[in-house]
Amino acid sequence: MNICKLASLWLLAACLLWLPDRAVAAGWFEDYEPAVVVSDPFIEMHTGPGRGFPIFYVAGQGDEVTILKRRTDWFKIRYTEGHRSKEGWVHIDQMRHTLDLDGNEIEFGQMGLAEFSKRRWEVGMTGGDFNGARTISGYLGFAVTPNIALQLEGTQILGDFSDGKMATASILMYPFPNWRVSPFFTIGTGIVRTEPQTTIVAAEDREDEIVHAGAGANLYLSDRFILRLEYKRHTVLTSRDDNEEINQWKAGFSIFF
């Protein structure tokens, strides 16, 4: 037992010493700060990452600037002249007017309908109605192809007489992934756990399997935002004689990556 402990301690120590070393070697902590050249007459440097922040400097055509970091659509750049340097924020629209050091155009990209239809990951939340109770759900989706996505969802059900938790896995089919309003069909399965409120006497917690089928639509708003409306019909596979049918309506939003 002691030898085991000692060995695991050694292993832990080795990992602790080795991992940071590897991380530094692999460049995990080294920031990528590429240099670019201004190709337009000038680009405007703002004091902060927002349209309202004042412009305090302009870098002119042919000037070389270093990109330090990005926040939303704003890039923090450093412009060095002699041994004086200025740091400011430039909007992506103006960064498009820069070239790399070989004089090639840089692909800055921007979120749009094309990116929406090609999205891979989606994280979202919805609120809704579950047979009279309110629901809050969080979901994670992964698009296997533009037409088919897998989704894991966790739901908290908040009713007047009982609470519940539901976990489901679903497949979503998007017949028209390129449309701004993109309808989908879904089927899936999961479990639901019901806990009666404390002000209600007796009644026990139960856990049941649940299957569902539904339909809905995603509306691409802008940037990374999607609005979602969805209807699902759940069948609770109870241990009683009859299965229970439940309608769920929900609306929410998601962000895609």
Partner 1 sequence: MEGRIQHLLLSLVAACASVGFALAAPPALGATAEDLELEPLVVREPERNPVQVDEIDTENFEIGVFGGLMSVEDFGTNPVAGVRVAYNVTEDFFVEGVYARTQLDQTSFERLSGGAQILTDDERDMGFYNVSLGWNLFPGEAFVTSRYAFKGGLYLVAGVGSTEFGGDNRFTINAGFGYRMVATDWLALHLNVRDHMFDSDLLGENQTRHNIEFTGGLTFFF
Contact pick of 5, 25, 28, 31 for partner 1 (by CB under 8 A): 31
Q: Does 112 bind partner 1 (CB under 8 A)?
A: no
Q: Quick one: which segment of 102-110, 113-121, 139-147, 205-213 binds partner 1 (CB under 8 A)?
A: 102-110
- Kindly compute the dihedral angle of the four CA atoms of residues 18, 20, 24, 29, in this order, to the nearest 10 degrees: 160
Contact 166, 154 (CB under 8 A): yes
Tokens 């979202």 label which residue? 124
Nearest Cα neighbor of 232 from 130, 144, 151, 140 is 130
Q: Does 145 bind partner 1 (CB under 8 A)?
A: no
Q: Quick one: which segment of 25-33, 145-153, 169-177, 178-186 binds partner 1 (CB under 8 A)?
A: 25-33
The least distance separating partner 1 from the CB of residue 178, rounded to whole angstroms, comes to: 22
How far, in Å, CA of 6 to CA of 8, rounded?
Answer: 5
The least distance separating partner 1 from the CB of residue 85, rounded to whole angstroms, comes to: 15
- Kindly compute the dihedral angle of the four CA atoms of residues 126, 232, 170, 218, in this order, to the nearest 10 degrees: -50
Q: Which is nearer to partner 1, 8 or 222 (CB)?
A: 222
Query: Which amino acid is it at 249?
Result: W
SS3 69: strand
- Applying CB under 8 A, what is the total number of residues that bind partner 1? 48
Q: Does 34 bind partner 1 (CB under 8 A)?
A: yes
| Residues near partner 1 (CB under 8 A) | 31-34, 36, 47-53, 67-76, 100-102, 104, 106-109, 125, 127, 134, 136, 138, 156, 158, 160, 163, 197-199, 222-225, 253, 255
